[in-house]
Chains A and B, each alone.
Chain A
Amino acid sequence: MVAVVPSTGGQAPPAVTVKRPSRTGYILLFPGMAWLGVFFAIPFVTLFLTSLQQPIPGKSGKYKFGLEFGNYVTAFTEYWPVFLRSFVYAGIATILALCIAYPLAYFIAFRAGKWRSLMLVLVIAPSFASFLLRTYAWKTILSDEGIVTSTLNTLHLLPDGRILNTGIAVVAGLTYNFLPFMILPLYAALEKIDPRLIEAASDLYASPQTAFRKVTWPLSMPGVVAGTLLTFIPAAGDYINAELLGSTGNRMIGNAIQTNFIEFRDYPTASALSFMLMAAILVLVFTYIRRAGTEDLL
């Protein structure tokens, strides 16, 4: 996730004579690298080895070192619908979050005036309460007797007559919980746009729509990319929302990993699922960044 910081424009640093890399550089790098090594690289390798373990014949539930790539095949065959569901839910939540966040971030960046700081604080304010608590609150908001569900029911808009414990509730929870991660990068990108560029566009007879399409939107792309990634990635791996707001048919891949680790104590399958989730997200992210053409922007 190197490439998500909005660029500041094309000012290249002045050319300097290349110095020999100093020891200070390495010393400064050390804490970060050590952290990565200890808390990411080593667990990563061990997780991978676990995912390849094989059962000891005749001893149910025992595993030994192996190169059982078949674990991946079995895990995928069994769980591909869950993978698919996770990505669909996360995708919808990301799109919804973008639709909600963009106008809001735009307003804060260009129209909020002296209220700007206050509004930014308000965006983050819900995060002061615990993630779990906020998700629990949605149980009340969407409950069968609650105002949302009864209103929609009066209009006969709900096929099941309820929202809680359906996919709609899970997507709603995901959208809500990751919304700040969409708003903040969007705001950061929009805020950096020089309003004079938009003025110039209108001076050149661009309608407001065209000015938005040709100037604002392209310049906010780094924010859009960062925001969608920061929303999609955690949403795809999330299990709390599906656990609390969903039902039996709405389980996501996070729930499957948890069930395999804790209920079945089937570590190879759980590790294989974790690995596949990581790989799938990496592939999606790279494809996305390529398609969005943001490499030049970042």
Chain B
Amino acid sequence: MTSQRPEAIAALTGSMRSAVSRRRLLQAAGLGGVAMAAAACGAGGDAEAEATGAASAPAAEDLSDKDMTANWSNWPLYIDIDEESGLRPTLEAFQKESGIAVTYTEDVNDNNEFFAKVRTQLEQGQDIGRDIVVLTDWMAALWIQNGYAQKLDKSIMPNAGNIIPRLASVSFDPNRDYTMPWQSGIAGLGYNVAAYKEATGNDKMTTMAQLFDPAVKGRVTVLSEMRDTMGCIMASQGNDPSNFTEDQFNQAIDELTKQVDSGQIRQVTGNDYIAALESGDVIAVLGWSGDVFALGDEYAFEIPETGGTLWTDNMLIPALAQHKKNGELIMNNYYNPDVAAEVAAYVNYICPVEGAQAAMEKIDPALASNEFIFPSEAMMDRTFVFMELTPEQNEKYERAFQKAIGN
């Protein structure tokens, strides 16, 4: 394995730190090895040597045929669930049909947090025990660039061609050699319709200025995902989040700081805003389309007039995964339009599979015409994809953002 140490594009290796992580410390300590700890301290050297060349992830011997299992890590509530049995119908069907037993774990809550959890193993060239992981664009990009994602064998994935044209090529993976989109979504305005009307007299919330309206002071939250929050604010200031300057970013930081310091923004959250909306503590949020949609009719989701951040979560196979082929078969299964429609009907996020809309007609015609699942071109024009950042930029902007939100 060591002969194929991950090599990375020079500009992008920076984001991977060779510092000794706390986890690694414990690991070293667990082996009782002072030598281990010392070795970990010295890891900076060989990381430096990996600065050039194309990414190539090490592969392990594929046990797929002997060991009919696969481990899949995904975000919570991100696949169809049968409310009564608690089972996942599409996954059950796949297991029955293929004979592959899938262990599905909802242990990705946050891109950074998940990466922190598995990073040491990836850096040391160890299997992270997962055959599929689902990561947002920028994090998936980081994995590919560092050689932590394996090239997919499209020959056993005939359904892969069903990917919608808009997602078929992305900057970090032009041919979709490493990733397949799981779902996409939009960061925008979610609000409790009745409570919002009571507080402001307005029926609809359509601008970021309305989110920062003093009438809802202390009753709004924004997202802790930097790209989502900063993208929406930058757009509202007339700047382009897919192509901005540092000054423009700082201008948005000033606005965010102002809203945080004044107490307008109650909290900066991940998924927790759902509970806060439901309890009535919060009237309006910067949230994710599918989540708000799933809350029901009392709540509404609007893309801000100035635009909302569009993101995609991607399935990929980590380096040294032991059941690569089984993972690819799972991906292939979810690119079957019928299966994709079933998932989309439950999660209400943007479906990346061509033909799913037709399949959805059979499940629920109302959902087939839902623009948050099958968006029109006009709708897509109201979204933007956040600019791709170099590791240096990412670090600088992430720090500025965290500082603004009180960290």
Chain A residues engaging chain B, CB cutoff 8 angstroms: 38-39, 42-43, 45-47, 49-50, 53, 56, 59-65, 139-140, 143-145, 160-162, 164-165, 247-251, 255-256, 259, 261-265, 267-268, 270-271
Beta-carbon contacts under 8 Å, B100-127 to A: 112-113, 116, 119
* A-B pairs with beta carbons under 8 Å apart, 23 shown: A42-B29, A43-B25, A46-B40, A47-B22, A49-B20, A56-B44, A59-B13, A60-B14, A60-B392, A60-B395, A62-B17, A62-B19, A64-B45, A139-B279, A143-B280, A145-B280, A160-B263, A248-B268, A250-B406, A261-B21, A264-B399, A265-B112, A270-B22
Q: B298 interface residue, CB < 8 Å from A?
A: no
Closest to A265 in B: B17
Q: B86 interface residue, CB < 8 Å from A?
A: no
User: Other CB < 8 Å A-B pairs besides A42-B28, A53-B20, A145-B281, 12 of them?
Assistant: A38-B29, A46-B20, A46-B29, A46-B41, A49-B20, A61-B16, A62-B14, A145-B280, A165-B281, A248-B267, A249-B260, A267-B21
Q: B398 interface residue, CB < 8 Å from A?
A: yes
Q: B165 interface residue, CB < 8 Å from A?
A: no
Contact B29 A49 (CB under 8 A): no
Contact B25 A259 (CB under 8 A): no
Contact A43 B26 (CB under 8 A): yes
Separation of A145 and B277 alpha carbons in the complex (Å): 12
Q: B402 interface residue, CB < 8 Å from A?
A: yes
Separation of A165 and B30 alpha carbons in the complex (Å): 38
Contact A60 B391 (CB under 8 A): yes
Closest to A53 in B: B19
Contact A256 B407 (CB under 8 A): yes
Question: Which listed residue (B14, B41, B265) contacts A59, Cβ 8 A?
Answer: B14
Contact A247 B17 (CB under 8 A): no
**Quick one: which of B18, B48, B280, B399 has the most chain A CB within 10 A?**
B18
Closest to A268 in B: B19
Question: Which listed residue (B22, B44, B47, B280) contacts A261, Cβ 8 A?
Answer: B22
Contact A61 B402 (CB under 8 A): no
- The interface residues of chain A lying within 8 Å CB-to-CB of B30 are 38
Q: A42 and B37 in contact (CB under 8 A), knowing A63-B19, A267-B20?
A: yes
Contact A251 B218 (CB under 8 A): no
Separation of A42 and B260 alpha carbons in the complex (Å): 41
Contact B260 A248 (CB under 8 A): yes
Q: B366 interface residue, CB < 8 Å from A?
A: no
**Quick one: which of B19, B32, B398 has the most chain A CB within 10 A?**
B19
Contact B44 A263 (CB under 8 A): no
Question: Which listed residue (A42, A61, A251, A259) contacts B391, Cβ 8 A?
Answer: A61
Q: A62 and B402 in contact (CB under 8 A), knowing A47-B25, A261-B116?
A: no
- The interface residues of chain B lying within 8 Å CB-to-CB of A251 are 406-407
Q: B378 interface residue, CB < 8 Å from A?
A: no
- The interface residues of chain A lying within 8 Å CB-to-CB of B77 are none
Contact B17 A267 (CB under 8 A): yes
Q: B266 interface residue, CB < 8 Å from A?
A: yes
* Distance from A222 Cβ to chain B, minimum over Cβ atoms (Å): 34
* Distance from A145 Cβ to chain B, minimum over Cβ atoms (Å): 5
Contact A264 B395 (CB under 8 A): yes
Q: B42 interface residue, CB < 8 Å from A?
A: yes
Contact B281 A248 (CB under 8 A): no
**Quick one: which of B48, B263, B280 has the most chain A CB within 10 A?**
B263
Separation of A56 and B45 alpha carbons in the complex (Å): 10
Separation of A61 and B59 alpha carbons in the complex (Å): 27
- The interface residues of chain B lying within 8 Å CB-to-CB of A61 are 14-17, 391-392, 395
- The interface residues of chain A lying within 8 Å CB-to-CB of B22 are 47, 261, 267, 270-271
* Distance from A58 Cβ to chain B, minimum over Cβ atoms (Å): 9
Separation of A250 and B21 alpha carbons in the complex (Å): 27
* Distance from A80 Cβ to chain B, minimum over Cβ atoms (Å): 15
Closest to A149 in B: B281
- The interface residues of chain A lying within 8 Å CB-to-CB of B40 are 46
Q: A63 and B218 in contact (CB under 8 A), knowing A42-B29, A267-B19?
A: no
Separation of A45 and B36 alpha carbons in the complex (Å): 13
Closest to A248 in B: B406
Q: A63 and B18 in contact (CB under 8 A), knowing A145-B280, A262-B113, A264-B395?
A: yes
Beta-carbon contacts under 8 Å, B44-61 to A: 44-45, 47-48
- The interface residues of chain B lying within 8 Å CB-to-CB of A248 are 260, 265, 267-268, 405-406
Separation of A261 and B116 alpha carbons in the complex (Å): 8
Contact B267 A143 (CB under 8 A): no
- The interface residues of chain B lying within 8 Å CB-to-CB of A39 are 29
Separation of A184 and B275 alpha carbons in the complex (Å): 35
Separation of A33 and B103 alpha carbons in the complex (Å): 39
Separation of A129 and B368 alpha carbons in the complex (Å): 43
Separation of A20 and B116 alpha carbons in the complex (Å): 51
Contact A65 B41 (CB under 8 A): yes
Closest to A243 in B: B272
Contact B44 A262 (CB under 8 A): no
Contact B265 A46 (CB under 8 A): no
Contact B395 A62 (CB under 8 A): no
Contact B16 A56 (CB under 8 A): no
- The interface residues of chain A lying within 8 Å CB-to-CB of B218 are 160-162
- The interface residues of chain B lying within 8 Å CB-to-CB of A268 are 19
Separation of A128 and B14 alpha carbons in the complex (Å): 45
Contact B267 A165 (CB under 8 A): yes
- The interface residues of chain A lying within 8 Å CB-to-CB of B398 are 263-264
Q: A65 and B42 in contact (CB under 8 A), knowing A46-B28, A60-B391?
A: yes
Closest to A144 in B: B281
Contact B266 A247 (CB under 8 A): yes
Separation of A64 and B112 alpha carbons in the complex (Å): 22
Contact A45 B267 (CB under 8 A): no
Q: A259 and B402 in contact (CB under 8 A), knowing A46-B28, A56-B44?
A: yes
- The interface residues of chain B lying within 8 Å CB-to-CB of A265 are 15, 17, 19, 112, 116, 119
Closest to A250 in B: B406
Separation of A71 and B372 alpha carbons in the complex (Å): 47
- The interface residues of chain B lying within 8 Å CB-to-CB of A256 are 407
Contact B48 A59 (CB under 8 A): yes
Separation of A259 and B28 alpha carbons in the complex (Å): 23
- The interface residues of chain A lying within 8 Å CB-to-CB of B47 are 62
Closest to A256 in B: B407
Contact B406 A247 (CB under 8 A): yes
- The interface residues of chain A lying within 8 Å CB-to-CB of B280 are 143-145
Closest to B37 in A: A46
